[in-house]
């Protein structure tokens, strides 16, 4: 019996077959000169911006990617690979350079977010893992940022682990949402792994296991007098709120953490709950709402003055329900010193290594220009930094709280219209003159050659 999940011993094999078959052809044909690939996201409706995330996991993979004995034996057994190529894989190490936008930065469609410069085989083999890791991390960090943008001064907590598309997704979601302003997670392993604050309440099963709702509340308060958040909607929400108050009073407490509403008309219930709690002298008890929460429900409820203090955001966060995937790509832009571009309609790419040049006006984002890597712009900040050189980290990686703080500062600089959750239109950066000229010249040459 196999547990069957990814770890550092086998993540080199978390790849699509064609990465390895292409790599073998490159190997056989001695096509292994230096290549440049770029990762980017295509324009996505309802996502004017994205939040960069997942880079730390990518860099870890690049440092530790190995093909162990069991992996080599499996590939040998597939009868798709030569012994000489398997010998190459046995000694595989990533030895290239990496440029990337910092985690927590606000990013946009059609921008080179990660640049890989390495020999062709290395750059090709890492493609699947790179896209898989960055796509989901960015997707969830962006969804979390959208929730944060409308949450005002209320608290956001990741409740999504049980509905995540796998264990790996649950961990990435906890990390990405923490970067984008969530206070913590219900995911205990994420708390241990990333030192993210962990939070929890109780399940309906806890209430059902007791003789009565009142008894269940008293049992929980006895064990957790300072942190009890009581789930009140198992039978009847209003009666549950009254039972919560009664339980706290019978236990002789002057304060308690609060209640959780998990269903029903959250506006009406939260207003009634606030009134009952205040009348009982529990003005500092919080109301936490969960169950189908997303940025739109948060915004609507707060706009209607619902007295909700905290949100448990679960399914809608970890699957990014309104936009469940990003159309992202990892494309070759240079090989053997020559610029490369794809001419497919609607999927045209721009040649050569590039840089993002960002302009702020009065500390507010004004525009991005994507141009050739060697371009220079006065008064603009280049966003792509070098993180690896010859397969080794060349700058210290920030701790998660630093990344979270970086996001907060970056997010404050984004204008309101781009953060508006009802804005359907993606921001598209400008193309610099030098890049535009090089692309037009290469496009004309390629069309002549391939007529």
Dump pLDDT digits (tens) for 327-338: 999 999 999 999
Examine residue 350 and state whether it is found in any structural domain, yes or no: yes
pLDDT higher than threshold 90 for residue 85: yes
Query: Do 61 and 98 belong to one domain?
Result: yes
**How high is the pLDDT of residue 345?**
73
Does the pLDDT value for residue 127 go beyond 80?
yes
Mean pLDDT of all residues in 389-395: 98
Distance CA 214, CA 218 (A): 6
5 within a domain of the structure (yes/no): no
Contact 38, 330 (CB under 8 A): yes
Sequence-distant contacts of 167-171: CB under 8 A, at least 24 apart: 167/5, 168/5, 168/6, 169/136, 169/318, 170/318
Indicate whether 41 pLDDT > 90: yes
In a domain? residue 366: yes
Same domain, 126 and 172: no
Q: Are residues 358 and 257 in the same domain?
A: no
pLDDT at residue 446 tops 90: no
User: 448 pLDDT band (50/70/90 cuts)?
Assistant: confident
Please tell me whether residues 429 and 399 are part of one structural domain. yes
Task: Mark whether 307 and 211 lie in a shared domain.
Answer: yes
Write out pLDDT tens, residues 5-36: 888 889 999 999 999 999 999 999 999 999 99
339 in any annotated domain:
yes
Q: For residue 165, which phi and psi values (nearest 5 degrees)? A: -80, 65
Indicate whether 344 and 282 sit together in one domain. Answer: no
Q: pTM of the full predicted structure?
A: 0.96
pLDDT at 47 over 90: yes
- pLDDT value for 435: 97
Q: Decide if pLDDT at 3 tops 90.
A: no
**pLDDT over 80 at 96, yes or no:** yes
Q: How many domains does the chain have?
A: 2
In a domain, 1, yes or no: no
Residues 293 and 311 occupy one common structural domain? yes
- CATH no. for residue 244? 3.20.20.70
Confidence of residue 55 (pLDDT cuts 50, 70, 90): very high
Q: What is the pLDDT of residue 4?
A: 72
Asked whether residue 126 is assigned to any structural domain, the reply reads yes
Together in a domain, 298 and 163: yes
Short-list 368, 404, 418, 304, CA closest to 103? 404
Mean pLDDT of 120-140: 99
pLDDT bucket at 449, cuts 50 / 70 / 90: confident
Last residue of a domain, one of 253, 285, 318: 318
Residues 229 and 352 in one domain: no
Q: Report whether 13 contacts 126 (CB < 8 A).
A: no
Does 289 reside within a domain?
A: yes
What pLDDT is attached to residue 447?
A: 80
Domain edge (last residue) among 276, 294, 318: 318
Q: Is 438 among the domain residues?
A: yes
Backbone phi and psi for residue 389, each to the nearest 5 degrees, phi listed first: -135, 125
- Model confidence at 284: pLDDT above 80: yes
The beta strands (E) that lie in 377-451 are given as: 381-382, 384-389, 392-393, 430-431
Q: 233 is written with which tokens?
A: 């909607």
Supply the range of the domain harboring residue 266: 149-318
Rounded Cα–Cα distance for residues 67 and 86 (Å): 9
Which of 293, 318, 343 is the C-terminal boundary of a domain?
318
Answer yes or no: do 314 and 330 share one domain. Answer: no
Say yes or no: 276 and 193 in one domain: yes
Sheet of strand 184-185, all strands in order from the earlier edge strand to the far edge: 184-185, 155-158, 310-313, 286-290, 258-261, 229-231
Check residue 403 and give its pLDDT.
99
Q: Reading across the β-sheet that carries 364-372, which strands appear in turn?
A: 381-382, 354-361, 364-372, 430-431
Write down the pLDDT at residue 6.
Answer: 86
Work out the percent of the chain whose per-residue pLDDT is above 70.
99
The mean pLDDT of the chain is: 97
Mean pLDDT of all residues in 354-367: 98
Asked whether residue 346 carries a pLDDT value surpassing 90, the answer given is no
The pLDDT of residue 295: 99
pLDDT confidence band for 146 (50 / 70 / 90):
very high
Are 297 and 333 found together in one domain? no
Mean pLDDT of 429-448: 92
Q: Residue 451: is its pLDDT beyond 80?
A: no
Q: Is 333 helix (H, G, I), strand (E, B) or coil?
A: strand
CATH number of the domain bearing residue 408: 3.20.140.10
What are the CA-CA distances from residue 216 to residues 118, 197, 236, 323 (Å)? 60, 26, 15, 39
| Residue 403, helix vs strand vs coil | helix
**pLDDT surpasses 90 at 192:** yes
205 pLDDT more than 70:
yes
């Amino acid at each position: 019996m196999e547990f069957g999940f990814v770890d550092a011993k086998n993540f080199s094999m978390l790849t699509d077959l064609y990465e390895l078959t292409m790599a073998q052809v490159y190997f056989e044909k001695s096509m292994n000169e230096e290549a440049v690939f770029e990762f980017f996201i295509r324009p996505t409706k309802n996502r004017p911006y994205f939040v960069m995330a997942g880079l730390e996991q990518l860099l870890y993979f690049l440092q530790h990617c190995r093909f162990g004995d069991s992996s080599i034996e499996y590939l040998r057994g597939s009868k798709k690979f030569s012994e000489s190529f398997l010998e190459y894989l046995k000694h595989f190490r990533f030895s290239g350079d990496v440029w990337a936008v910092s985690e927590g930065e606000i990013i946009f469609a059609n921008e080179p977010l990660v640049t890989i410069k390495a020999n062709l085989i290395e750059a090709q083999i890492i493609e699947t893992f790179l896209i898989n890791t960055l796509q989901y991390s960015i997707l969830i960090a962006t969804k979390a940022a959208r929730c944060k943008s409308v949450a005002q001064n209320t608290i956001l907590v990741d409740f999504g682990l049980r509905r995540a598309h796998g264990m790996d997704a649950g961990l990435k979601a906890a990390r990405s949402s923490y970067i984008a302003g969530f206070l913590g997670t219900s995911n205990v392993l994420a708390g241990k792994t990333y030192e993210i604050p962990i939070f929890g309440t109780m399940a309906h099963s806890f209430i059902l296991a007791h003789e009565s709702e009142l008894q269940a509340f008293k049992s929980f308060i006895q064990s957790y007098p300072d942190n009890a958040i009581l789930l009140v909607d198992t039978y009847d929400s209003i009666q549950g709120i009254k039972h919560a108050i009664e339980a706290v009073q019978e236990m002789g407490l002057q304060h308690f953490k609060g209640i959780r509403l998990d269903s029903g008309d959250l506006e009406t219930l939260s207003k009634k709950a606030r009134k009952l709690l205040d009348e009982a002298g529990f003005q500092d008890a919080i109301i936490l709402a969960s169950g189908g929460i997303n940025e739109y429900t948060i915004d609507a409820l707060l706009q209607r003055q619902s007295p909700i203090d905290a949100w448990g955001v679960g399914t809608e966060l970890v699957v990014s329900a309104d936009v469940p995937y990003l159309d992202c790509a990892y494309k070759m832009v240079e090989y053997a010193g020559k610029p490369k571009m794809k001419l497919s309609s609607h999927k045209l790419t721009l040649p050569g290594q590039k840089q993002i040049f960002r302009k702020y006006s009065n500390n507010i984002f004004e525009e991005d220009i994507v141009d050739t890597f060697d371009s220079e712009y006065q008064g603009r900040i280049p966003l792509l930094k070098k993180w690896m050189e010859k397969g080794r980290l060349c700058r210290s990686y920030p701790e998660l709280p630093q990344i979270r703080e970086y996001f907060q500062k970056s997010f404050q600089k984004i204008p309101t219209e781009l953060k508006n959750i009802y804005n359907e239109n993606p921001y598209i950066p400008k193309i610099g003159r030098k890049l535009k000229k090089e692309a037009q010249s290469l496009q004309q040459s390629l069309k002549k050659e391939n007529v």
